């Protein structure tokens, strides 16, 4: 799942946010997105993992990445 946010400036920057339940799914989504960017477009990537237990005691993970890039 990807969401975009933009703001003005000399270089128009965009944010792509990815959120998956499995790290391999996140890896695939991020790699597919990065393959479409040039080296000059790429700015930064942030990665996060969160874990919790659901109502029946099963662990639930959330693997997220935020990519900042130039449009």
What's the pLDDT at 1? 46
* Average pLDDT of the segment spanning 36-40: 96
Q: Is the pLDDT of residue 24 over 80?
A: yes
Say what percent of the chain tops pLDDT 90. Answer: 79
Tell me the domain boundaries of the chain: 3-70
pLDDT given for residue 11 in this prediction:
74
CATH architecture of 3-70: 2-Layer Sandwich (3.30)
Instruction: Measure Cα distances from 36 to 14, 20, 24, 39, 63 in Å.
Output: 14, 20, 19, 10, 21
pLDDT higher than 90, residue 62: yes
pTM: 0.78
Taking residues 8-18, report their average pLDDT. 83
């Amino acid at each position: 799942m990807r969401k975009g946010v933009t703001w003005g400036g000399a270089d128009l920057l965009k944010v792509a946010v990815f959120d998956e339940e499995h790290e391999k799914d996140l890896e695939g989504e991020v790699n597919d997105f990065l393959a479409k960017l040039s080296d000059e477009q790429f700015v930064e990537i942030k990665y996060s993992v969160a874990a919790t237990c659901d109502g029946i005691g099963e662990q639930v993970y959330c693997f997220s990445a935020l990519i900042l890039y130039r449009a």
